């Protein structure tokens, strides 16, 4: 990869705006050549310099992008992923809940392989995915992912039908199930569970617990995995993004890391 890499951001919300700001602050040598939004006619004064607005997957090919970074929403993954990979661009996914659809995932992988490109899944709000993915080269017997967030992070989700978020006096576990169920029912908060699953033992065997904690200020991810490699226990506490309390700062940081690594001599 070269420093002339051109990036298209799909979605101009909390994560991708933070990614663009961090790249600019750090003086990273990457051009954001396009930003895909739903309403390109709306005036915006905060776009990266030189970026053009697009709205349709079919617009990607003419942008000259070499890497497309999705942080828009579950329904954008397949159409933008298809168009990006078919146009010879790598495609990085944030709304990984879309990847519980086995047919969609297989199609994107096949397109990537046919075109010599890559479907990239950054660690999102997580850390330690490298160790879990490495551990899965041997037999894994159990993987559990607990997501603990303040009540405000669960507002506007199915959690509101399962508990009274405003009345909580103590941490409440309001969902236990597979990563597939978590991603289907909580697509704005459980993308990470799909990342854990892809790295480990799949969406049907990965156990997920979702917790609302009235004392919590940060978004916590606790992963426990057992297998022939030994035992992995990780606890991350992420600062939420200022403009979306559901999403963690770490998600944007991991995208920045992915982008900067593409031109780095030393890749970490
Ligand atoms: N992988 C991970 O660990 C994490 C993934 N996420 C996911 O990343 C995605 C983005 O998160 P945020 O930036 O916090 O959300 P956000 O709601 O702040 O921003 C998303 C933006 O994308 C736009 N959008 C939606 N569909 C679109 C489409 N088809 N084309 C163009 N723009 C479209 C929305 O209008 C909005 O402006 C969400 O799906 C979220 O659930 C969030 C946190 C962690
Ligand atoms: O940002 C986080 O903590 C995780 C998140 O919202 C998700 O996986 O959708």
Which pair of structure tokens corresponds to residue 191?
Answer: 């993308």
Contacts of 43 (CB under 8 A, 6+ apart): none
pTM exceeds 0.80 for this model: yes
What pLDDT, in 10s, does the model give residues 86-130? 999 999 999 999 999 999 999 999 999 999 999 999 999 999 999
Q: Which residues are catalytic?
A: 221
Span from the CA of 10 to the centroid of ligand 2 (angstroms): 17
Ligand 1: does its nearest atom lie under 6 Å from the Cβ of 77?
no
CA-based nearest residue to 238, from 153, 143, 135, 132: 153
- pLDDT classification of 1: cutoffs 50, 70, 90: very low
Residue 2 in this model has a pLDDT that exceeds 70: no
Using a 6 Å CB cutoff, which residues line ligand 2? 124-125, 188-192, 219, 238, 246-248, 251
Handedness of CA 72, 122, 80, 178 (dihedral sign): negative
Give the closest residue (by CA) to ligand 2 atom 3: 248
Closest CA to 221 of 195, 260, 256: 195
Beta carbon of 72 within 6 Å of any ligand 1 atom:
yes
Q: How much distance in Å is there from the Cα of 10 to the middle of ligand 1?
A: 9
Q: Whose CA is nearest to atom 7 of ligand 2?
A: 189
Query: Could you tell me the pLDDT band of residue 149, with boundaries at 50, 70 and 90?
Result: very high
Residue list, annotated binding site for NAD(+) = 125, 191
Domains defined for the chain, CATH in brackets:
5-125+249-263 (3.40.50.720), 129-237 (3.30.360.10)
Average pLDDT along the chain? 96
Residue range 1-26: average pLDDT?
Answer: 90
The backbone torsions φ and ψ at residue 256, rounded to the nearest 5 degrees and listed phi first, read -60, -45
Instruction: With cut-offs at 50, 70 and 90, classify the pLDDT of residue 43.
Output: confident
Report d(CA 105, CA 97) in Å as an integer: 11
CA–CA gap between residue 245 and residue 201 (Å, rounded) = 29
Residue 145 confidence (pLDDT) above 90 = yes
ipTM: 0.98
Of all atoms in ligand 2, which is nearest to the CA of residue 219?
3
User: Does position 29 have pLDDT exceeding 70, yes or no?
Assistant: yes
Q: Measured between alpha carbons, how far is 6 from 180 in angstroms, rounded to an integer? A: 34
Are 259 and 20 in contact, with CB atoms under 8 Å apart? no
pLDDT in tens, 159-192: 999 999 999 999 999 999 999 999 999 999 999 9
């Amino acid at each position: 990869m070269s420093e002339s890499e051109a990036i298209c951001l799909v979605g101009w919300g909390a994560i991708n705006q933070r990614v663009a700001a961090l790249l600019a602050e750090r003086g990273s040598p990457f051009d954001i050549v396009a930003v895909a939004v739903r309403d390109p006619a709306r005036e915006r004064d905060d776009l990266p310099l030189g970026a053009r607005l697009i709205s349709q997957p079919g617009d990607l090919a003419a942008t000259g992008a070499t890497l497309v970074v999705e942080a828009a929403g579950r329904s954008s993954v397949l159409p933008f992923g298809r168009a990006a990979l078919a146009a010879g661009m790598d495609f990085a996914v944030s709304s990984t809940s879309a990847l519980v659809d086995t047919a969609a995932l297989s199609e994107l992988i096949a397109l990537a392989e046919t075109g010599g490109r890559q479907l990239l899944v950054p660690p999102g709000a997580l850390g330690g995915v490298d160790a879990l993915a490495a551990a899965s080269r041997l037999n894994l017997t159990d993987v559990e992912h607990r997501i603990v967030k303040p009540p405000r992070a669960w507002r506007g989700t199915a959690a509101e039908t399962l508990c009274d978020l405003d009345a909580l006096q103590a941490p409440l576990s309001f969902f236990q199930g597979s990563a597939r169920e978590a991603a289907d029912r909580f697509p704005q908060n459980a993308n990470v569970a799909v990342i854990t699953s892809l790295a480990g033992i799949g969406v049907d065997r990965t156990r997920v617990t979702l917790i609302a904690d009235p004392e919590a200020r940060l978004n916590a991810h606790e992963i426990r995995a057992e297998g022939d490699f030994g035992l992995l226990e990780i606890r991350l506490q992420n600062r939420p993004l200022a403009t979306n309390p559901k999403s963690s700062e770490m998600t944007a940081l991991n995208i920045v890391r992915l982008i900067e690594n593409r031109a780095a001599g030393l890749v970490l």
